[in-house]
Amino acid sequence: MPVDIDIARVAHLARIALGDDELAIYGDQLAHILEHAERVQALPTEGVEPTSHPLPMVNAFRPDVVTGSLERDEALAGAPDTEDGYFRVPKILDES
């Protein structure tokens, strides 16, 4: 059975501005793909620990020593827009 998806909400969460036609296509495709996920959901897994990662590791530490990093100009070199050594973006908050 196709899964019911609010595809417009999903696209908004993903910050991908899609038109209505595209949303309809992706919505149908996702519903179809997720039908197969129902097989996974039907498997009994009570008491099974999830595997988030293939290696048994908790944390990775290194000595707290200052090491080199990119120069500011190098870090900014690929940016679409910069100003005074900063990344520049359009306004974030409405000024009204």
Partner 1 sequence: MTDLADLTIAEAGAGLRAGEFTAVDLLEAVQRRAAVTEAHLHAFLTLDRDGARLAAEAADVAIADRDPRPLLGIPVALKDNMVTKGIETTAASQILAGWIPPYDGTAVRRLKRAGAVIVGKTNLDEFAMGSSTENSAYGTTRNPWNTDTVPGGSSGGSAAAVAVGSALGGFGSDTGGSIRQPAALTGTVGVRPTYGLVSRYGLIAFASSLDQIGTFARSVRDAATLLEAVAGWDPLDATSYHGDVPPLARSIDAGVAGLRVGVVTELTGEGIDPQILAATKAMVDRLSDAGAAVVEISIPAIEYALSAYYLIAPAECSANLARFDGVRYGLRVDGATTEEMMGKTRAEGFGPEVTRRILLGTYALSAGYYDAFYGQAQRVRTLLRNEFATAYAKVDVLVSPTSPTTAFEVGAKTEDPLTMYLSDICTIPTNLAGDAAISVPIGLDDGGLPIGFQIMVPALCEETMFRAAAEVERLAGFAARPPLATSEVVAP
Least Å from the CB of residue 71 to partner 1: 8
Neighbours of 82 (CB within 10 A): 15
**Closest CB to partner 1 among residues 2, 37:** 37
Residues ≥6 apart with Cβ < 8 Å to 72: 85
Q: Under the rule (CB under 8 A), what is the footprint of partner 1? A: 5, 7, 10-11, 13-18, 26, 29-30, 32-34, 36-37, 39-41, 43, 45, 48-55, 57, 59-60, 62, 70, 74-75, 77-81, 87, 89-92, 94
Neighbours of 56 (CB within 10 A): 5
